[in-house]
Amino acid sequence: MRNLIVTAVIALEASFSGIASAQSFRRDTDTVIMGAGYRNMVFYQLQTGRQDTAARCGWHLAFEVPIRGAAIRVNHPCGVTLYKTTRDTSQWAVLSLSDTVTALYDDLCKWERGAFNTTAGPSAFDVGWGIYNLSDHITRGDSLYIIRVGNTFKKFWIQRLEGSSYFIRIANLDGSQDTAYAVSKTIASGKNFVYLNLLTHQVYSIEPDPAQWDLVFTQYAKFISPPNNPSTPVLYNLTGVLINQKVKAARVRLSRQANPDTITISAYPLDSCISIIGDDWKSFVSGQWILADTLYFLVQDRAGRLWRVRFIDFGGSATGRVVLEKALIQSASTGLDMALTERFLVYPNPVREGFSVSLPSAFSGDVELYALTGERLLFLAANGEETVYVPRPVGLGPGFYILRIRSGTKTASQAVIFE
């Protein structure tokens, strides 16, 4: 392997990408209050502590705003249920409650997969509620639905998405109050969703700019398997935390003896599933809320900063209060480069004598092996190699170690196990 320099180094670094060293990170706390009955949804930014509040039940449907977006989500916890029907759009006049097939629910991993989108077929042009036409760029609705809002049932048809507007039709089941109108994306330009109240026909922009929030504290509907009947999941309204688009997170459960400041970051892959933080950081036991005090979350915000978050208090429905502890453990400038991470591979792993590292195309930089204490054990300089071999340092004992690759200011790390 050309241009390869192997140098055994024993050096202690204060910190490096992929490992939280033994230093003590500054911990800050913030209090988020959703209000009694969790009446508000609170959009929260980790860096500034900024909070933007909106009424949780002031809307029934949320329509995706970005130019190519066609997702439509449903406010299930506020008494809204969506039913797919057996009728096509030519049968609007005869649609009735007996035509319902099944209830549809929002996906809890992808914002762009709302209840209306869950029936989409394999075609890239099928959005669930309609089909996108490549010639005129109009998505035309091909399905009829029944929506329950509280105790009121309505028949509902998304006729088309044309330009920046969703054109919808809604009526009572007996055909009265048959109304057609448009929901314009421009009302919430630059946001993720624009919101509609089906009873008043009012359209709202309730989110802050996407760059101004990372987490939203709110309620959502989720199927839970009861302990006494696990084969029959039941829909519950749960209070928890969802992450914004372009935010990633990982769950870290430690022992009570573990020091959270020494978390090996690269051992916990970041996930973009919007409910990765979710609701199970708390539980209701013997009439009181118990916090999972050894459960941490690594959260990479929209700016690329990496935070360690832990929830330390929860007030329940009386106040909707959540107290969180956060620590900045990696700034954006030294954060993990996910493109590098996705393009380098360590094999075999676990390791006996040595291992190979498959590097990103045209990689030029350093390959380093570290102990979990931050001690650098091996350094390789790579320039254009597709694969480098990392030998086992003399006297290295079994255990977990960290391999880091670095090119300029970009770094990525993976855990390596020596047997």
Q: Over the stretch 220-278, which tens digit does the pLDDT of each residue have?
A: 999 998 888 888 899 999 999 999 999 999 999 998 888 888 888 878 889 999 999 99
Query: What's the CA gap between 128 and 106, in Å, rounded?
Result: 12
In this model, does residue 288 exceed pLDDT 70?
yes
**Residues in CB range of 184: below 8 A, 6 or more apart:** 164, 165, 194, 203
Residue ending a domain, among 271, 298, 332, is 332
Query: What's the CA gap between 131 and 137, in Å, rounded?
Result: 10
Residues 65 and 47 in one domain: no
- Please check whether residue 306 lies inside any domain of the structure: yes
Q: Which has the minimum average pLDDT: 30-39, 203-212, 258-267, 309-318?
A: 258-267
Residue ending a domain, among 332, 360, 388, is 332
- Other CB atoms within 10 Å distance of the CB of residue 143: 18
Mean pLDDT of the chain: 88
- Please check whether residue 232 lies inside any domain of the structure: yes
Residues 108 and 142 in one domain: yes
Residue ending a domain, among 301, 316, 332, is 332
Mean pLDDT of 131-155: 96
Residues 77 and 188 in one domain: yes
Residues 166 and 194 in one domain: yes
Q: How far is CA 359 from CA 264, 335, 345, in A?
A: 21, 19, 7
- Please check whether residue 408 lies inside any domain of the structure: yes
Look up the domain containing 393 and give its range: 5-18+336-418
**DSSP symbol at 5:** E
The residue to which tokens 């797919």 are assigned = 84
- Please check whether residue 23 lies inside any domain of the structure: no
CA angle 321, 322, 328 (to 5 degrees): 150
Residues 115 and 178 in one domain: yes
Residues 191 and 218 in one domain: no
Element (H, E) at 341: helix 338-341
- Other CB atoms within 10 Å distance of the CB of residue 50: 14
What pLDDT is attached to residue 5?
A: 26
Residues 73 and 95 in one domain: yes
Q: Phi-psi region for residue 163, left (φ > 0), alpha (ψ -120 to 50) or beta? A: left
In this model, does residue 6 exceed pLDDT 60?
no
Residues 150 and 197 in one domain: yes
pLDDT band at residue 343 under the 50/70/90 scheme:
low
Residues 69 and 95 in one domain: yes
Query: What's the CA gap between 307 and 298, in Å, rounded?
Result: 6
pLDDT digits (tens, 9 = 90+) for 83-113: 999 999 999 999 999 999 999 999 999 999 9
- Please check whether residue 140 lies inside any domain of the structure: yes
Q: Phi-psi region for residue 367, left (φ > 0), alpha (ψ -120 to 50) or beta? A: beta
- Please check whether residue 284 lies inside any domain of the structure: yes
What pLDDT is attached to residue 408?
A: 73
Residues 307 and 241 in one domain: yes
Q: Which has the minimum average pLDDT: 99-103, 219-223, 317-321, 330-334?
A: 330-334
Domain CATH number, residue 370: 2.60.40.3080
Q: Which three-class secondary structure state does DSSP give residue 91? A: helix
Residues 201 and 225 in one domain: no
- Please check whether residue 399 lies inside any domain of the structure: yes
**Total domain count for the chain?**
3
In this model, does residue 8 exceed pLDDT 50?
no
φ/ψ of 248, rounded to 5, equals: -130, 155
- Please check whether residue 235 lies inside any domain of the structure: yes
Residues 156 and 93 in one domain: yes
